[in-house]
Amino acid sequence: MLALPLRFARTLLTRGMRRKLLAFPRIASTLLAAAAGVALGIALASRSALAWRLLAAASLMLLAAEAWRARDSFGRARRLPPGSLALAPLGPWVDPGFYFAQTERHGPVFKMSHLVSPQVCIADLGLGRELLRRYDAALAVPPLPFDRLVPGGFIRYMDPEPHRARSATLRTAISKDVVAACEPAVQALMREALADLARQSGQLHPRTRLDTMVFHGAGHLFFGFAPGSEALARFERAMQVLDYRRALRVPPFRVRRALNEAMALLAETQPRGFLGALARADPVAAREPAVVANLLYVFNTSWPDVAGLLSWITKWLASHPEWLARLRTADDPVAMAERIVRETLRLSQSEYLVRRAREPLEVGGFVIPRGWLVRVCVREIHRRADVFSEGTRFLPDRFLIPPGPQAYAPFGASHISCLGENVTLMFGRLLALELARGYEIAVAGDGPLELGPFHWQPSSRFRVRLTPLAQAGEGAVRS
């Protein structure tokens, strides 16, 4: 009777799952209710020998059915891919190599359970792109809870036609000219953050300081908030409530109120940054609540990912300081810094694309049933030896020859692509350049990788030692 509940408990108690559930209050509530129901059922059954035997028999039948579905060959007659549908698998939550191991065992298309939801995983970018292109309208992006707060819905979860219209508006806002104009301010924030990390060398996780820096830099980029201003402080308070990663801890009424406060703040200040670019191009759209709310949540979902990327860049360069030394003497340091960013995106942070099938689909000769999840395993594709030579090594110069779209997809592989590629590359490039200009870097402490709400991330024990270059001008990077 306890076999399945204990298996679920083992998975649910992992740090990665706990972090995930913070972003999904309804799922957390459902699981809590299910656990209470199991406990109540056992308590009631224990009062009657007959009920106890019936519950034991039902549990045995469930275990037998689950064991039958857990066979790799289950569903072969229906053309399901190979792989186990065992419930609540532990591996995805504790082992960063889990999906890669499944790919090597079953091939580029396999099935498994995402807790209880069956899903088909695709570790071939050609197959993944073809599936996303061919079945565009039949694949939905599972939404995060905040989607219902945005008038008309958040852009990432829209169907193709409304997505194209909203995407065109937001791309007008997210202007390359604004990114270029804001780069000096972001660079100043970057230098301040690194100087602070150097003063506390070896004591802080880099992300502790990088999160604040990216938030302030992105606030300047998106909305023109000046670092240290009262407007930025008000905005930061609202965004802490809107943080989708901690939705379980914040009542919905507080989230709605914070969203209204953030929109009111933007309405009472002169539009700057990306919002200012949109106001110049389309004044009506810049005042439309659906557009402003979308821009707020684009900000809210993008800055944590950028901060995570910077944490990974710090880790890779600390583990491979020879690349920082090469960057100092590079003939084209900007181009080399961008290669470092792209290689970091290949190895870390770009992990997967997820959809839900609205109807039966086919991929690689296999069937994906209606309602199943589809996961394109970007991280595993990027590490395949037949796609990238020495795929697990950190080799930024592999990007001297740009890889094709069948090999590399850090910013998406369908009509739903990242709007902030230029922003991401700018932040990452500046970090690499500022580290090369001013510091030697080394790992001061580390531990196993940890699963965050959506991405694998460096250990919470990861520390770096930043040592300012000894002589004036020693760290100068060639221009």
**Which DSSP symbol is given to 402?**
P
Is residue 185 predicted with pLDDT exceeding 60? yes
pLDDT at 404: 86
Diameter of the chain by CA atoms? 83
Is residue 416 predicted with pLDDT exceeding 90? no
CA distance 456 to 452: 6
Taking residues 446-456, what's their average pLDDT?
95
Which residues neighbour 315 within 8 Å (Cβ) at sequence distance 6 or greater? 206, 348, 443, 458, 462, 464
Q: Is residue 119 part of a domain?
A: no
Q: Are residues 156 and 48 in the same domain?
A: no
Taking residues 299-318, what's their average pLDDT?
96
Taking residues 301-319, what's their average pLDDT?
96
pLDDT at 348: 94
Q: Is residue 478 part of a domain?
A: no
Q: Are residues 341 and 449 in the same domain?
A: yes
Instruction: Provide the domain limits for residue 280.
Output: 148-468
Specify the CATH number for the domain of residue 340: 1.10.630.10
Give the chain's domain count.
2
Cα-only R_g, the chain: 24
Q: What is the pTM of this model?
A: 0.94
Is residue 201 predicted with pLDDT exceeding 90? no
CA distance 116 to 451: 19
CA distance 180 to 430: 12
pLDDT at 471: 46
Is residue 173 predicted with pLDDT exceeding 60? yes
Is residue 479 predicted with pLDDT exceeding 70? no
pLDDT at 288: 95
Taking residues 372-396, what's their average pLDDT?
94
Taking residues 209-216, what's their average pLDDT?
96
Model confidence at 417, in pLDDT bands (50, 70, 90)? confident
pLDDT at 412: 82
Q: Are residues 45 and 154 in the same domain?
A: no
CA distance 395 to 386: 16
Q: Is residue 216 part of a domain?
A: yes
pLDDT at 472: 40
Model confidence at 229, in pLDDT bands (50, 70, 90)? very high
Q: Is residue 79 part of a domain?
A: no
The last residue of a domain, from among 27, 51, 69: 69
Model confidence at 259, in pLDDT bands (50, 70, 90)? very high
Q: Is residue 3 part of a domain?
A: yes
Taking residues 464-468, what's their average pLDDT?
94
CA distance 349 to 312: 8
For the four alpha carbons of 262, 268, 274 and 277, in that order, the dihedral sign comes to positive
Q: Are residues 60 and 159 in the same domain?
A: no
Mean pLDDT across the chain, nearest whole number? 92
pLDDT at 204: 87
The last residue of a domain, from among 16, 51, 69: 69
pLDDT digits (tens, 9 = 90+) for 391-410: 999 999 999 999 988 899 99
Helix, strand, or coil (residue 220): helix
Q: Are residues 228 and 324 in the same domain?
A: yes
Which residues neighbour 307 within 8 Å (Cβ) at sequence distance 6 or greater? 207, 210, 211, 213, 214, 215
259 CB neighbour count, 10 Å cutoff: 23
Q: Is residue 179 part of a domain?
A: yes
The last residue of a domain, from among 42, 69, 96: 69
Taking residues 304-328, what's their average pLDDT?
96
**Which DSSP symbol is given to 477?**
P
Is residue 351 predicted with pLDDT exceeding 50? yes
Model confidence at 473, in pLDDT bands (50, 70, 90)? low
Q: Is residue 477 part of a domain?
A: no
pLDDT at 56: 85
Taking residues 302-324, what's their average pLDDT?
96
Q: Is residue 474 part of a domain?
A: no
Q: Are residues 333 and 463 in the same domain?
A: yes
Q: Are residues 349 and 439 in the same domain?
A: yes
